[in-house]
DNA sequence: AAAAATATTGCATGTATTTGCGGTGTTTTT
DNA sequence: AAAAACACCGCAAATACATGCAATATTTTT
């Protein structure tokens, strides 16, 4: 591989994600860390990026850097990172929509080689930025507020799928009532998603814990992982720990 | 072997692969490395390629990744507005992806009461902003570059659809050769889209007129409308006017 | 057609670049 | 405070490059 090609690829990654980790580039380009660091140094000398500890940032990203103070964004980023660690090479992952999942799609390691099936166009667009991830988008009626595909068409497509892991956000999670929701269509959809996957991880910021809504989606016994921004031994999570549920 | 021949072969390799290694050329052309280096130097002097350590890169390769700007935006907005006038209340409209169609999705009248079926998540997200438009997203494999769903799954879903109007951009339109493209999957997809619709409108900025590419999608006789940013009586459009094709 | 002039090519030489590695210092995380 | 991750330095091997020169090929001139 020519050095200039590497530089081009690095710049493409930067333009796509606004940041890169050296470790990701090592895997992606199959060269040593020293080479990556030298590359980043050269690109930084040419004023094409900002080199930082562990990787580099896009020049243009600097200005928008502090929009990370959106509501509960920190918590969601934290959840996203924890969830990313659940996903291994070769897995088939089924995802819903929701801001937490979109955040996850931005936080995956560059070298991840997996298949993602999603009902969310926004997630699909984010995932398309990764070289080694295959993306399958499930279509159907398009829900205006939640920006996902829904309806019978989606559910019948889900029936054909056997995923290793299902990732979904939720509006409510309760120690005894499990996952609940308010919308009939979403309820059906989530049930179908869980049924199509070997394991399910619920991504849930702490303030949605302890709430119960109208419609039951699944009991805790059907869930394998609960990912929140809290520490696994947090007081608030005690009630969930009894179950056969891994808390991250 | 003549020097000029070598140069031609080198340029063909460059245009084909966007890059070339000196070592590969040595094997391919059976000459010494010195000769290759001198060849590359001469071609670089003539501004035909970029010589780098270890080989050379195509001139255009550089620009393929830093073109974050939308090209010919004004023309596309003009086309979008004209196209919007084709869409009436109650219609079922099938759309492709592409920047022109996305622009259209931003320019529709708020009161429009129609059903849109699309293979483009980005179009779906834009359309979801209209109260009275029902959006159906067709899913399948997700194409990283063009950001649309493609593949057999998409085509079989299209077979179930009967739309009133199909809207698609194109890479090339020629008075006698009609709509052509370079990619096999896209080709199949567009054919299926046209077959599923009563009428088809091609959205095409003027600079793509008169071009023919490798694969034929459809003849002009299968197209009902041609929408460009030019006036309908423009000189350049004369060649298309003879056909049974409405130019807007 | 032969000779001269010119251009092209390959080789040898020395130089420059690129890259991975080990050792060591620094920063970040636990 | 310890451990882990990252960064920096210098070194050595491999590779790529520039240059002059001789051998060969091509074109031009006679």
Strands A133-137 and B140-142 come out as antiparallel
pLDDT value, residue A239: 66
H/E stretch holding A76: helix A73-84
B61 contacts on A by Cβ (under 8 Å):
8
Work out how many CB contacts closer than 8 A connect A with B: 87
CA distance A189 to chain B (A): 16
Instruction: Tell me: pLDDT of B57 over 80.
Output: yes
Count the alpha carbons within 13 Å of A133 in the hemisphere toward its beta carbon.
27
Mutate to test the interface with B, among A92, A121, A138 (most CBs of B within 10 A): A121
Going by the DSSP 8-state scheme, the letter that residue A35 receives in this structure is H
- DSSP alpha helix (H) spans, chain B: 3-17, 22-29, 33-45, 59-63, 73-84, 99-106, 121-127, 152-158, 184-195, 238-241
Q: How many CB atoms are located within 10 Å of the residue B63 CB?
A: 9
CA distance B137 to chain A (A): 5
Q: Give mean pLDDT, residues B104-115.
A: 89
For residue range B120-175, what is the model confidence (pLDDT) as tens digits?
999 999 999 898 899 999 999 999 888 999 989 999 999 999 999 999 988 888 88
Digit-by-digit pLDDT tens for chain A (248 residues) are 889 989 988 988 887 788 899 998 998 899 999 999 999 999 998 888 989 999 998 887 544 333 333 455 667 777 887 888 888 888 999 999 888 888 888 888 877 889 999 999 999 998 998 888 999 999 999 988 889 999 888 999 999 999 999 999 888 888 888 889 888 888 989 999 999 999 999 888 877 888 888 888 888 888 888 888 776 566 666 667 656 666 67
What are the φ/ψ torsions at residue B89 (nearest 5 degrees)?
A: -55, 140
C1'-nearest nucleotide to the CA of B42: C8
In contact, B246 and B224? CB cutoff 8 Å? yes
Domains plus CATH for chain B?
3-63 (1.10.10.10), 73-247 (3.40.50.10470)
A2, A136, A143: residue with CB nearest B142: A136
Q: Give mean pLDDT, residues B178-203.
A: 91
- Percent of residues in chain B assigned helix, strand, coil, to nearest 5: 40, 25, 35
Query: Which residues, at least 6 apart from A228, have a Cβ–Cβ distance to it below 8 Å?
Result: A79, A204, A205, A206, A209, A237, A247, A248
Please tell me which residue of chain A has the smallest CA distance to B61: A8
Q: Mean pLDDT across chain B, nearest whole number?
A: 85
Chain D: bases < 7 Å from a protein Cβ:
5-10, 15-20, 26
Share of chain B above pLDDT 70, in %: 92
Please tell me which residue of chain B has the smallest CA distance to A2: B54
Sheet holding A49-52, edge to edge: A19-21, A55-58, A49-52
Instruction: Tell me: pLDDT of B248 over 80.
Output: no
pLDDT value, residue A31: 92
- Whole-number Å distance between alpha carbons of A25 and A10: 8
- Whole-number Å distance between alpha carbons of A14 and B39: 34
Which three-class secondary structure state does DSSP give residue A218?
A: strand
Which three-class secondary structure state does DSSP give residue B189?
A: helix
Q: Which residues pair with A118 in a beta bridge?
A: A95, A137
- Whole-number Å distance between alpha carbons of A120 and B152: 20
Chain C: bases < 7 Å from a protein Cβ:
8-12, 17-22, 27-28
């Amino acid at each position: 591989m020519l050095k200039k090609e590497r530089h081009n690829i690095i710049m493409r990654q930067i333009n796509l994600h606004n940041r890169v980790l050296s470790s990701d580039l090592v895997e992606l380009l199959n060269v040593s860390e020293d080479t990556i660091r030298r590359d980043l140094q050269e690109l930084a000398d040419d004023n094409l990026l900002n080199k930082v500890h562990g990787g580099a940032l896009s020049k243009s990203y600097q200005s928008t850097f502090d929009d990370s103070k959106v509501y509960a964004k920190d918590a969601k980023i934290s959840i996203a990172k924890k969830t990313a660690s659940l996903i291994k090479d070769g897995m088939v992952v089924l995802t819903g929509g929701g801001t937490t999942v979109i955040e996850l799609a931005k936080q995956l390691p560059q070298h991840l080689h997996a298949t993602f099936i999603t009902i969310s166009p926004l997630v699909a667009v984010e995932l398309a930025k990764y070289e080694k991830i295959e993306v399958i988008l499930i279509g159907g009626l398009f829900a205006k507020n939640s920006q996902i595909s829904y309806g019978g068409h989606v559910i019948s497509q889900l029936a054909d799928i056997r995923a290793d892991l299902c990732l979904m956000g939720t509006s409510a999670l309760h120690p005894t009532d499990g996952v609940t929701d308010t919308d009939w269509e979403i309820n059906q959809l989530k049930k179908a998603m869980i049924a199509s996957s070997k394991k399910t991880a619920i991504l849930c910021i702490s303030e949605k814990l302890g709430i119960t809504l109208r419609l039951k989606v699944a009991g805790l016994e059907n869930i394998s992982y609960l990912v929140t921004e809290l520490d696994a031994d947090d007081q608030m999570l005690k009630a969930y720990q009894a179950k056969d549920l891994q808390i991250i």
